[in-house]
Amino acid sequence: MNINNLYIIKRDTGVCIYHKDFTESGFDPQLLSSFLVAMTSFFDEATQSITSQARAFEGTDYKIVVEFGEWTLGAVSTKEDSAQIRTKLKRMIERFEEQFSVLRWVDIDLAIQTRFEQSVIDEFVRYLIIPDTVITVRAGWEHYTKKPDVMSFLRIIPSICSVKDAAEFLEVPIEVALNLAAEALWENAITVYNPVKPDDIYQATSITRPGAEDEKLSPETAKALSELDGETPVSIAAERMRTSDMKRFLKDVAILEKRKMIELVTPAHAVAVRYTSALHSLLKGCSKIVGITAMRKVFLVSREKLVGTYPWMAYVTLEEGVDIEMRSSLTAATIKGTIGPDVLNDGFRVIMQFITRRVKDLTGAQPMNRIIANTREEIQQQFPSTAYEIEWETLVV
Amino acid sequence: MNSGVLGARTIVSQSGWKYAASIIFTGLAILIAAEILYFMGMVSFLTTLTAALSPVIALLLGIIGLNFFGRESLVKEDRFHAMNVWMALGLLVFSLSEIAGVLLRITGSSSDIYFTVGLVQMPALLLWGLGVVGYLRSSNSVLGVFNGNKMSSIIIIITALASLFLVVIMTLIHPAQSLLITFVSVPMIIGLGITLCILGGIVWILRGGLIARPLILMFFGILLLLIRSLFWGFVNYCPGSPFDYVTAIEGYILVGASLAAASGLDDVFVIEEEEEAD
């Protein structure tokens, strides 16, 4: 999620009351805020509609995503318009309106930039930092930050290390190191890089950079590119290529990512891929005992019950046997991020609960729990660092 | 929907059980009729009746079983489905063995009946064994009760040891009995016994679920056929008697009923969900 700028604008005056520039572009926020308020008002007038509101303005390689609060308007300049960005922006607006509600009626100095800083860090920066994130301390970092905590943090840690290593080095809990790294990133005192993980899912991009043809790929790296199809985790791609050196493979993937020939799929798509793998494994395990025909029926009956609550589930179907297929429209929505990962997570969890409870009636509780445990092991092998995001405990019967 | 408590009341479709129940009632009716005829002294009529019924019932139930399960390809990895197809095919071959027995009895070469019938039953038993072992392997691959290779070794060792043991026992009990008869009855008894043990194990593992019910019927069906084989091998019991045929008929009926009940599992659920969100 590449966010360049964040704006919070007072709707009735068009004044930008909070702004954060993540790119140090030096662009005047007031220029954009006036434009946004004018354009949104124009669209409302032009369409003669009370309910419709302009939601995004699109450039060639950026988008300005807009969300409306009660008396403010939030906007982010970003590369992609996804459900996740909108959710974060909405949360940001709600928090702002709650914290600075008095600004609706009067214009006073509430030191917004400083007081709202932590909320923005929590929403837009903190998620970028994970224990494996590699921190690179910038040369002359002392000029970027004056925060005592961050300064003492950066003074002690090596100039390049992972957050996990930094926590061990400082002998502090990992959470503390994660927060300090987020603050340092906010202050631009460090740059961060998330190394490729075995359960990351990458897809090929269609971006052709100028001069890219001059950079020859090694045969191994080119072969790795063909395996990253947006559906397959890196670990499985490595297995398919029968690579003996996982580190080398991860390095190849990192090269491809650096050259922007591949990109990480959206969180929604990652959730969908993870859950369809889990669902397929679960159905396959159950079908070995109760048969494929019965399992197909169990799946279809369960899905039927849930389509009312989760309409997108109608696009999750079965191919031959118990192979799960996501229809192209749902896949497109997950790739674009127009459907949130939470929604998918919730729906898939519930259908798996329905299935396990129904199969329990056929096989009894103990075999069903054994199948769940097997599925869990299989998914942990495929997605070692994200398998825990499936709530396995809720599936146990 | 949040992680609510899913209070699900499940009503399992009874269509398969309707067929199974009607087959079982037919079996009971035959049993009662046989008792009545026997105690009324109409043994020859009972023999003729059961000799005719035995192959007919095995044939009919085999066809019914194939009708339930034989419509879909065997190629797909569905061992439960495959087991039921093998059982149905096995019933068809058993019907052939019964027909062979009746024909031999009519032609009068009674000393060879046992040998011939036993020999024809072998392929049927092989089909049943294939089905049950395939299903055991499939279930075991998920449930991991045994190590895969270990399981095959255990079955082979037990079969070999039990066969040797049985040959010795039978020779000791009936020293005058033809070796041909011993060599036919031992594989039958061992085959049925092993199949029964495997099935018993599967039933035990799946005892909490509805799928255990057809498997229990199958278990008792095979048990009756094992009892029949044991009588043939140990009691020097004359094959072709009314008791022999009735035992076979009841065995086939239970296996057929299990196929009918298993077919109902496909109509798994008519469910009324009562969902309570936390």
| 3 state DSSP class of A204 | strand
Q: Do B142 and A289 touch (CB under 8 A)?
A: yes
Q: From CA B107, how far away is CA A369, in angstroms rounded?
A: 58
Query: If you ran DSSP here, which 8-state letter would residue A125 be given?
Result: I
Q: From CA A375, how far away is CA A382, in angstroms rounded?
A: 11
With CA atoms as reference, the chain B residue closest to A378 would be B142
With CA atoms as reference, the chain A residue closest to B274 would be A305
Q: Which two tokens stand for residue B56?
A: 């007919």
> Per residue of chain A (397 residues), what is the pLDDT tens digit?
578 888 999 888 888 889 888 876 667 777 778 887 787 777 666 666 655 566 777 776 778 888 888 888 888 888 777 777 888 888 899 999 999 988 888 888 878 888 888 888 888 888 888 888 899 998 888 888 888 888 888 888 888 999 999 998 888 899 999 999 998 988 888 988 888 888 888 888 765 555 555 556 677 777 777 778 888 888 888 888 887 778 888 888 888 887 778 888 888 888 999 999 999 999 999 988 888 888 888 898 889 889 999 999 999 999 888 889 889 899 888 888 788 888 999 999 999 999 998 888 888 888 899 899 999 998 988 888 888 888 898 888 8
Measured between CB atoms, does B212 come within 8 Å of chain A?
yes
Given a contact cutoff of 8 angstroms between Cβ atoms, the answer to whether A146 and A51 are in contact is no
- Give the residue from A350, A361, A394 with the most B CB atoms within 10 Å of its CB, the best one to mutate: A361
Non-local CB neighbours of A204 within 8 Å, separated by 6+ positions: A225, A228, A229, A230, A261, A262
Non-local CB neighbours of A16 within 8 Å, separated by 6+ positions: A7, A8, A9, A29, A30, A32, A33
pTM of the model: 0.72
Q: Do B268 and A288 touch (CB under 8 A)?
A: no
* Helical axes A267-290 vs A83-99, angle rounded to 10°: 120
Non-local CB neighbours of A270 within 8 Å, separated by 6+ positions: A201, A264, A341, A386
Identify all chain A residues contacting B144, using CB atoms and an 8 Å cutoff. 370, 374
Pairing type for strands A63-68 and B269-276 reads unpaired
Nearest to A371 among B77, B142, B267 (CB): B142
Nearest to B142 among A285, A320, A360 (CB): A285
Residue-wise pLDDT for B258-274, tens only, equals: 988 888 776 655 444 44
φ and ψ at residue A15, rounded to 5 degrees: -90, 135
With CA atoms as reference, the chain B residue closest to A289 would be B139
Residue A188 Ramachandran class (φ > 0 left, ψ -120 to 50 alpha, else beta): left
How many other CB atoms are there within 10 angstroms of residue A228's CB atom?
A: 24
CATH dotted code for B5-276: 1.20.1070
Residue-wise pLDDT for B66-87, tens only, equals: 888 776 666 566 778 888 888 8
Task: State which fold the A3-120 domain adopts.
Answer: Beta-Lactamase (3.30.450)
Given a contact cutoff of 8 angstroms between Cβ atoms, the answer to whether B240 and B113 are in contact is yes
Cα A155 to its chain centre, rounded Å, is 31
Q: Which residue has the tokens 């079982």?
A: B24
Q: Do B273 and A305 touch (CB under 8 A)?
A: yes
Measured between CB atoms, does B268 come within 8 Å of chain A?
yes
- Give the residue from B74, B77, B80 with the most A CB atoms within 10 Å of its CB, the best one to mutate: B80
For chain A, strand residue ranges (E) read 3-10, 16-21, 56-58, 63-68, 72-78, 134-137, 160-162, 190-193, 201-204, 229-233, 262-264, 316-318, 324-326
Query: If you ran DSSP here, which 8-state letter would residue A193 be given?
Result: E
Indicate the burial class of A373 (C-beta count within 10 angstroms; 0-12, 13-18, 19 or more).
middle
Identify all chain A residues contacting B13, using CB atoms and an 8 Å cutoff. none
Identify all chain A residues contacting B12, using CB atoms and an 8 Å cutoff. 361
Cα B42 to its chain centre, rounded Å, is 29
Given a contact cutoff of 8 angstroms between Cβ atoms, the answer to whether A394 and A349 are in contact is yes
A39-48 CB contacts, 8 Å cutoff, 24+ apart: A40/A66, A40/A73
Q: Would you say how long chain A is, in residues?
A: 397
Structural domain boundaries of chain B? 5-276
Q: Do B1 and A391 touch (CB under 8 A)?
A: no
Identify all chain B residues contacting A353, using CB atoms and an 8 Å cutoff. 6
- Give the residue from A281, A283, A288 with the most B CB atoms within 10 Å of its CB, the best one to mutate: A288
User: Closest Cα partner for B144 from A382, A381, A372, A362?
Assistant: A372
| 3 state DSSP class of B253 | helix
Nearest to B80 among A291, A350, A365 (CB): A291
pLDDT of the residue at B276: 38
The DSSP code sequence of A311-349 is GGGGGEEE-STT-EEE-HHHHHHHHHT-S-HHHHHHHHH
C-alpha triplet B110, B115, B118: angle, nearest 5°: 120
> Which residues of chain B from 82 to 141 reach within 8 Å of chain A, CB to CB?
138-139, 141
ipTM of the complex, rounded to two decimals? 0.71
Q: Do B268 and A374 touch (CB under 8 A)?
A: no
- Residue ranges of chain B with per-residue pLDDT less than 70: 1-16, 71-77, 107-113, 148, 236-240, 266-278
With CA atoms as reference, the chain B residue closest to A377 would be B142
Q: Do A294 and B266 touch (CB under 8 A)?
A: yes
Given a contact cutoff of 8 angstroms between Cβ atoms, the answer to whether A163 and A174 are in contact is yes
Given a contact cutoff of 8 angstroms between Cβ atoms, the answer to whether A212 and A259 are in contact is yes
Q: Do A364 and B269 touch (CB under 8 A)?
A: no
- Give the residue from A319, A344, A362 with the most B CB atoms within 10 Å of its CB, the best one to mutate: A362
Structural domain boundaries of chain A? 3-120, 129-193, 201-264, 267-394
End-to-end, the C-alpha distance of chain A in Å comes to 38
Measured between CB atoms, does A287 come within 8 Å of chain B?
yes
User: Closest Cα partner for A282 from B269, B77, B142, B146?
Assistant: B142
Q: From CA A264, how far away is CA A386, in angstroms rounded?
A: 14
Q: Do B266 and A292 touch (CB under 8 A)?
A: no
Nearest to A363 among B1, B206, B271 (CB): B206
Shortest distance, CA A264 to any CA of chain B (angstroms): 29
pLDDT of the residue at B266: 64
pLDDT of the residue at B237: 54
